[in-house]
Amino acid sequence: MRILGLDIDLVNLRKETYSEDSRNPQMEFGTPEEDAMRRDATVNAMFYNVNTQTIEDFTSRGFDDMAAKIIRTPLEPYQTFKDDPLRVLRLIRFASRLGYSIDKEALVAMRDQDIKDALRRKISRERVGVEMEKALRGSDPHEALKLVYSLELYETIFSDPTVELAKHYTPDCEGWELCIDRLRDVLSEETPLAELLVRDKEERFMAYQLAALVPYRDAPQPSAPPGRKPPPPVAALVAREGVKATNKVSDTVALAVKTQEEVSSLVDQFNERKRRPEKPFEGDDATARDVLGMAIRRWGTGSRSLVMYSFLVDTVSHPESTEAIERNYTSFLQHLQTISVLDAYTLKPLLDGKTLAKALDTPPGPWMKDALDVVMAYQLRNPDTTDTDAAIEAVKQKRGELSSALVRHFLKLTIRPLFQKAKPKNVTEAGRKREGEQLPPKLSMQSTSEEETKPWKSLHQTHALSLLKWVVSALHEQTGLIEEVWHLVIPPILTMIDDWEVKYKALGAKLSSDILRVTPPILLERTGLGEVFEEALVPCLSYLPTITPEDEAIELLDDVYPALLALSRTRYPKNIPKESRRDA
């Protein structure tokens, strides 16, 4: 009932009688003394008499315990907790919220294995979750977790009740006290790390919720039944089932566990690059705005919580280096703030999927998601670029940095995988002619299926050829890219020329003509692919009527002759002396 804006519960005085297997008592009307004695703590058992306007302490200890800041049960603690084990968690919450200490006799009972067993057996996980959430949202969540640790209640509270106790993963609590102490220190001292990662009460709650689950950091990933997606990490299952966390919390826990190694590795790479900028490195530049911004976007809206979890895991894993770890994470986060990518997940894409597909003249499909990441990385590298129309025009004209990035992306991650199983055997991974005789491929029922060996011909992958045509056309405008992507663009073209269907042979011949017209003669000579192209194209001249339908023969020859001419002009250019080609 709400009275004057306050939630008021009106109940009668009660006396309670408990059974062995339930915390729900049989209730009957009682006296004020009986009602006070059934409460969980003396300081929570005092009454205000509205008639006399005085506070009445029927346990005779409430006033004294409040003055001494002690949490004590009105009756003998063991029986109090045995009747209702939830009182264990309520006392932890009261003590942490009020800054009180728990009576020694009560602490002994709270550690008792019978009480832990009763807490598992008699209390619903929803109630456990409610109490723990209130404690972690309270004024001193560190003290709440510290009591859970010191009372050896961790596995009783933070476990998955859907898994048999004998099969349940045993959490690694070694170092957990350091973890929660370190989190308290970071937050209470208002460190730069705290200022950047914990902006409000929700992020503070999430930090302690994640800290509570650090002991499950090394739990093996549960296996998935055949044909099913993998289940969440054990820590996320404990959050969801053990304390009935919300979907948002459970999802954040799952993502934090899955990304922890990525976050930690990126922090290490960043600091290594900062310390030794002159040292050569492989892979992405961990200090670059696009690399870091895309990482933040992958981690999503909870990225700060994910970084906090990784910091806590690294702290537990390397207790001898806690200060260095904090410095590394602080430096990393301050750099993210300096280059304005801490909130990169809020950045609006310059192009959407349909707009990009239209600019590329390619059917929409699953390829768009990764391609839009390329566009976003371009935006992050060029934060002043905000003109959508200019970006669209650049893609249409196949010019500029964005088009170059798309060429690299499509060849490496979209086109190449679809041609990988049927690539030409006489071309190496480096895009050179393979020397020596090649053994014929082993045949199997599976290898003869085009759906398996040539997925680029599938109706579901029609975008592959459209994108390949766009790439080849773009290389006319971006000739400086040809040598860089030579080993990626040539195999798909040769694969199509070697195909048995005339329409693909014709397209392969046309694309070879287009690419050869802008190929530097020295590149063709150095890689030895002039002969490979000749061996692929010349047999196409035999596709003549009546063996080949006349319309197909004309279509093929219309593309093969220009390709052979382009090949001859590139292999034997008039303006480059033979001696120069040999020297190169």
User: What letter does residue 17 receive in the DSSP assignment?
Assistant: E
The pLDDT value given to residue 466: 95
Measure the CA dihedral 356/361/366/371, to 10°: -40
Is 492 found in the same domain as 382?
A: no
In the predicted model, what is the mean pLDDT of residues 484-512? 96
Determine the residue type at 563. Answer: A
The pLDDT value given to residue 39: 87
pLDDT of 290 above 80: yes
Distance CA 146, CA 132 (A): 13
Inside any domain, residue 338:
no
Distance CA 377, CA 372 (A): 9
Q: pLDDT confidence of 407, banded at 50, 70, 90?
A: very high
In the predicted model, what is the mean pLDDT of residues 398-417? 95
Last residue of one domain, picked from the residues 137, 157, 177 = 157
Q: pLDDT confidence of 473, banded at 50, 70, 90?
A: very high
Number of H helices, E strands in the chain: 30, 8
pLDDT of 382 above 80: yes
In the predicted model, what is the mean pLDDT of residues 571-575? 83
Q: What is the pLDDT of residues 121-135, one digit of tens each?
A: 999 999 999 999 999
In the predicted model, what is the mean pLDDT of residues 530-537? 96
- Domain around 460: 421-433+454-571
Asked if 180 and 321 touch (Cβ cutoff 8 Å), the reply is: no
Is 458 found in the same domain as 516?
A: yes
The pLDDT value given to residue 443: 57
The pLDDT value given to residue 582: 43
Question: CB burial class (10 A; 0-12, 13-18, 19+) of residue 16?
Answer: middle
The pLDDT value given to residue 580: 45
The pLDDT value given to residue 110: 97
90: CATH? 1.10.110.30
Last residue of one domain, picked from the residues 136, 157, 178 = 157
Per DSSP, the residues of 428-439 read -TTSSBPPS--P
The pLDDT value given to residue 581: 47
Is 33 found in the same domain as 126?
A: yes
Inside any domain, residue 552:
yes
Is 150 found in the same domain as 11?
A: yes
Inside any domain, residue 499:
yes
The pLDDT value given to residue 11: 80
Is 383 found in the same domain as 426?
A: no
Where is pLDDT greater, at 580 or 324? 324
Kindly report the average pLDDT of the chain as a whole number. Answer: 92
Q: pLDDT confidence of 452, banded at 50, 70, 90?
A: confident
Distance CA 478, CA 398 (A): 8
Inside any domain, residue 539:
yes
Inside any domain, residue 533:
yes
Q: pLDDT confidence of 584, banded at 50, 70, 90?
A: very low
The pLDDT value given to residue 76: 93
pLDDT of 449 above 90: no
In the predicted model, what is the mean pLDDT of residues 88-108? 96
Is 505 found in the same domain as 465?
A: yes
Distance CA 438, CA 123 (A): 70
User: In 10 A of CB 235, how many CB atoms?
Assistant: 28
Is 108 found in the same domain as 51?
A: yes
The pLDDT value given to residue 5: 85
Is 554 found in the same domain as 429?
A: yes
Inside any domain, residue 120:
yes
Indicate the number of domains in the chain: 3
Model pTM? Answer: 0.86
Q: Range with the lowest mean pLDDT among 37-46, 62-71, 230-239, 251-260?
A: 37-46
In the predicted model, what is the mean pLDDT of residues 7-36? 75
Q: Range with the lowest mean pLDDT among 203-217, 274-288, 465-479, 513-527?
A: 274-288
Is 426 found in the same domain as 387?
A: no
Q: Range with the lowest mean pLDDT among 132-146, 377-391, 430-444?
A: 430-444
Closest by CA position to 168, among listed 160, 158, 176: 160
Inside any domain, residue 197:
no
pLDDT of 448 above 80: no
In the predicted model, what is the mean pLDDT of residues 218-247? 92
Inside any domain, residue 327:
no
Last residue of one domain, picked from the residues 157, 175, 193 = 157
Is 395 found in the same domain as 486?
A: no
Is 468 found in the same domain as 393?
A: no
Is 487 found in the same domain as 393?
A: no
pLDDT of 445 above 60: no
The tokens for 387 are: 């003109």
